């Protein structure tokens, strides 16, 4: 089997403990991964803390930091084929999608590389005589970044790129499920020339790695992507170091289709929103809200398209949907579909593991038509290729049903009525709203959610500010002695 290493303080090293990573397309082990313990985490964090003051990093000006990020982007583009193959092998995401996404990941490093020397302070016209006052921005410190197994290279880029541009140092924990692409990415970090300790990459499990990292006293900021249950542990851990937090936690995103929608375009957007990446996306459009007058036609089109999706080996260029990433995920999706059917949901298509695709963790593209919003499939996140459909009467009913969720990450609105689009966008409690499109991203746009979908935003100019600490500077400009402190004027 392939053997991977940790990258700590500028060195690649074997771990004292390892675990096997499973290929979801075959359900067989394919690689041996290092398992970080508390001592490994402590060494990585202390190295990051030292690097904050080391002239090799601290002595670089912002333009020089930006050049390192541009160099890293070039290396990612050079090695897209290798990184995509590793992500496909370890996660089951189809090779067409990993290759496409990784080329765009490089743009995040370029965007923040360009912003590195645009971080500015400002003078403040204070109301005190003989005083000059200005605000200076400094790196917040050591960042603990934690990402899940889906789209690890993208989800790490939205954390690493602004943090490095700001001058922070980082310890990145890859998911214990499918960490191969990030452990391979460490070689590009090394080749790009980042000084030792600036970015360490390791993987491990919750108690002996994640908990130690998020509670470490030298960590100043935690950037986490994952589920709400784990996020609650992260928040509790942060009480130990009072680190600032950003939490991106997934969702149960609604797609609202009104009677005047362009159905050809809408069908394509829905298919991309729920069946791309086998539904394993935090913004998966898993709740479809359809106006009752067009529901029959739209469902017929969707069922027909879903039945034609090519399910197969993720490294085959003709495959359109690969396996789920883990056996546990397959079992979760199947159990949730069965529970929803027991609660009254009608199975339109799919609804079972796709055994014809092989021994891996495949599941059929599935559509469920629900009578009411209290069905499990409309309330719980699947993280799988399952579309739950609910009908609505009018605009007010659509908005009420869309907002009837503890999540609020993303939403899609499909209508040719511009006035309606603006009204609905304003009314939706979602951090991202797409109109007549879906699942579009850019490094220039912030991303994040409401409610149990998390705290804070990633992407855009705003993200750099979360990795900076504000320093207020006062300079007295008078040559006169300071007045008697006990005489008030």
Q: What span, in angstroms and rounded, lies between the C-alpha atoms of 274 and 427? A: 23
Q: What span, in angstroms and rounded, lies between the C-alpha atoms of 155 and 145? A: 10
> Active-site residue among 87, 97, 176, 248?
248
Bridge partners of residue 306, in order along the sequence: none
124 exposure class (CB count in 10 Å sphere: 0-12, 13-18, 19+): middle
3-state helix, strand, coil in the chain (%, to 5): 40, 25, 35
Q: Count other Cβ atoms within 10 Å, centred on residue 442.
A: 13
Place of tokens 């851990």: 237
Q: Count other Cβ atoms within 10 Å, centred on residue 30.
A: 16
Q: Count other Cβ atoms within 10 Å, centred on residue 208.
A: 16
Bridge partners of residue 321, in order along the sequence: 311
Q: What span, in angstroms and rounded, lies between the C-alpha atoms of 409 and 430? A: 5
Please indicate whether residue 380 is annotated as part of the active site.
no
What residues contact 40, with CB distance under 8 A and at least 6 apart? 6, 8, 15, 202, 204, 209
Place of tokens 């085959």: 316
What residues contact 216, with CB distance under 8 A and at least 6 apart? 41, 42, 45, 142, 144, 240, 241
129 exposure class (CB count in 10 Å sphere: 0-12, 13-18, 19+): exposed
Closest Cα to residue 52, out of 66, 39, 63, 65?
65
Q: How many Å separate Cα 449 from the centre of its chain?
A: 11
Residue positions counted in the chain? 489
Tell me which residues are annotated as active site. Answer: 248
């Amino acid at each position: 089997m392939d053997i991977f290493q940790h990258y700590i303080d500028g060195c690649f090293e074997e771990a004292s403990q390892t675990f096997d990573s499973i290929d979801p397309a075959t359900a067989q082990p394919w690689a041996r991964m290092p398992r970080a313990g508390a001592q490994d985490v402590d060494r990585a964090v202390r190295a990051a803390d030292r690097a904050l003051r080391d002239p090799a990093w601290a002595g670089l000006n912002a333009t020089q930091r930006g050049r390192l990020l541009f160099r890293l982007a070039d290396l990612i583009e050079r090695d897209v084929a290798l990184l995509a193959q590793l992500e496909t092998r370890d996660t089951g995401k189809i090779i067409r999608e990993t290759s496409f996404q990784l080329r765009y990941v490089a743009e995040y490093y370029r965007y923040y590389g360009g912003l590195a020397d645009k971080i500015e302070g400002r003078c403040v016209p204070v109301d005190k005589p003989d005083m000059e006052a200005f605000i200076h921005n400094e790196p917040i410190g050591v960042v603990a970044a934690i990402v899940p197994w889906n789209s690890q290279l993208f989800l790490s880029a939205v954390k690493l790129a602004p943090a490095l541009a700001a001058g922070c140092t980082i310890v990145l924990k890859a998911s214990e499920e499918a960490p191969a692409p990030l452990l391979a990415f460490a070689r590009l970090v090394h080749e790009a020339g980042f000084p030792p300790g600036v970015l360490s990459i390791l993987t491990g499990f919750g108690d002996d790695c994640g908990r130690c990292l998020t509670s470490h006293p030298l960590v100043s900021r935690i950037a986490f992507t994952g589920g709400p249950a784990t996020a609650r542990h992260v928040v509790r851990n942060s009480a130990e170091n009072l680190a600032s937090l950003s939490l991106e936690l997934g969702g149960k995103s609604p797609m609202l289709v009104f009677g005047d929608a362009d159905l050809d375009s809408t069908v394509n957007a829905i298919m991309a929103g729920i069946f791309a990446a086998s539904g394993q996306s935090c913004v998966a459009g898993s709740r479809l809200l359809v106006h009752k007058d067009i529901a029959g036609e739209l469902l017929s089109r969707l069922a027909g398209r879903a039945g034609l999706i090519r399910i197969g080996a993720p490294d085959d260029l003709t495959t359109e949907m690969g396996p789920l990433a883990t056996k546990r995920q397959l079992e979760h999706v199947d159990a949730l579909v069965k529970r929803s059917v027991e609660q009254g949901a009608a199975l339109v298509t799919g609804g079972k593991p796709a055994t014809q695709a092989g021994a891996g963790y495949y599941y059929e593209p599935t559509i469920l038509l629900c009578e009411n919003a209290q069905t499990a499939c409309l309330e719980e996140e699947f993280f799988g290729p399952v579309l739950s459909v609910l009908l609505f009467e009018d605009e007010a009913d659509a908005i009420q049903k869309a907002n009837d969720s503890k999540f609020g990450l993303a939403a899609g609105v499909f209508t040719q009525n511009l006035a309606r689009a603006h009204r609905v966008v304003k009314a939706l409690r979602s951090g991202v709203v797409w109109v007549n499109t879906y699942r579009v991203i850019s490094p220039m746009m912030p991303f994040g959610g409401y409610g149990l979908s998390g705290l804070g935003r990633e992407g855009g100019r705003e993200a750099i500010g979360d990795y900076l600490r504000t320093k207020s500077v006062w300079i007295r400009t008078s040559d006169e002695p300071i007045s008697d402190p006990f005489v008030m004027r």
